[in-house]
Structure 1
Amino acid sequence: MRRTLRHGAIRLRRLLLWLWRQEGSHGQRARGLAAGVFCGCFPFFGLQTLLGIGLASLVRGNHLLAAAGTWISNPFTYVPLYWFNYQLGSWLLGPGQGWPSAQTLQQQGLWEMGWSFTSRILLGSTISGVVCAPVLGRAYWQWLEREQERLLASAR
């Protein structure tokens, strides 16, 4: 157990170093991550990375970090993220047909659920993306700034 935690900590540190060493200014890196997070909030399986990179190009953000930002939705977070997005959309548009059962999703898929379902999940995804993307992008930018200050201070 202890070895697994240590291995996980090492992998996390390598990931953070990889993120730190990406090309571009702090703003470009943060915009790329934010673009990816925004696109990752949508249930466009298989297209999120392409959409994130495309949006990063529009906002002059880092493409690799945009691709990484789409990982906000992954096999572990799909159901909670999209359930939340659907509930948010239902709260704004009024109750719909309800969240489908696992059996219904396996048989029909998300996009076969009709406009009532689709409109709610897309509205909720848009709002989640509009909130999460700038928050995480700003947090990453602040972290980059703090790390740069720390490195400059330690170099003196």
Structure 2
Amino acid sequence: MPRQFFRRISVGYLRKRDYPWYLKPFRALLRHPTFFSVSRRSVAGALWVGLFIALLPLPGQTIVAPLLALLLRVNLPISVVAVWLTNPLTMVPIFWSEYRLGALILGRPVQAISLDISWDWFSSGVAAGWQPLLLGAVVSATVVASTAYVLVSVIWRWLVAARYRRRRPPAQR
């Protein structure tokens, strides 16, 4: 059941022979069926990759996620779409909560942010806040991504088992 859904929305145009110029160096990788397979392991792993990268304060998350997906051999499109959890609307609340979590773990007080855009403000703000932000981001990314991995795996198995139970004749139920 989940496999049919993901096959319906899966991107098939990258399997063509005529790739755009910017994808030609990756032609051999993109032809590999693993990166577009719709299996429990591939989808759950891709969601883990996408959410983990999305919750880290990194520039170029949409580039980092497919590279990690290629390395871990999980579904490429799902990992890219999962990265889009952080967008300009959600980035500030997510990173603020990660900063607060990191400050709580480190036992530091949460500093109020004042918007005095200058080099001194930037250098002192980054110097004081990067450790709690990074620690909170790694902790929350690990927890959220691992929870999503487990949930997808459990729900996938439950749906497959339910489909199997419906398929059996009534005498065997």
Aligned counterpart for 1:94 among listed residues 88, 95, 107: 107
1:94 to partner: Cα distance:
3.3
Q: Which residue of 2 aligns with 1:59?
A: 72
Query: Where do residues 1-156 of structure 1 align in structure 2 (5 Å cutoff)?
Result: 17-18=5-6, 23-45=37-59, 47-95=60-108, 98-101=111-114, 103-104=115-116, 107=117, 113-156=125-168
Q: Which amino acid aligns with 1:76?
A: L
| TM-score, with structure 2 as normaliser | 0.66
1:115 to partner: Cα distance:
2.5
| TM-score, with structure 1 as normaliser | 0.72
Rg comparison, structure with higher value: 2
Return the alpha-carbon distance in structure 1 between the equivalents of residues 49 and 149 of structure 2. Answer: 8
Contact (CA 8 Å) 2:7, 2:38: kept in 1 or not? Answer: no
Return the alpha-carbon distance in structure 2 between the equivalents of residues 152 and 125 of structure 1. Answer: 40
Contact (CA 8 Å) 1:36, 1:67: kept in 2 or not? Answer: yes
Return the alpha-carbon distance in structure 2 between the equivalents of residues 40 and 33 of structure 1. Answer: 10
RMSD over aligned Cα, in angstroms? 2.8
Name structure 2 gaps, 5 residues minimum: 11-36, 169-173
Percent of residue pairs identical: 24
Query: Which has more helix, going by share of residues?
Result: 1
- How many residue pairs are counted as aligned between the two chains? 136
Give deviations 1:95-144, integer Å, cap 9, x for gaps. Answer: 2671424x35xx36xx7532221121111100111111110011112222
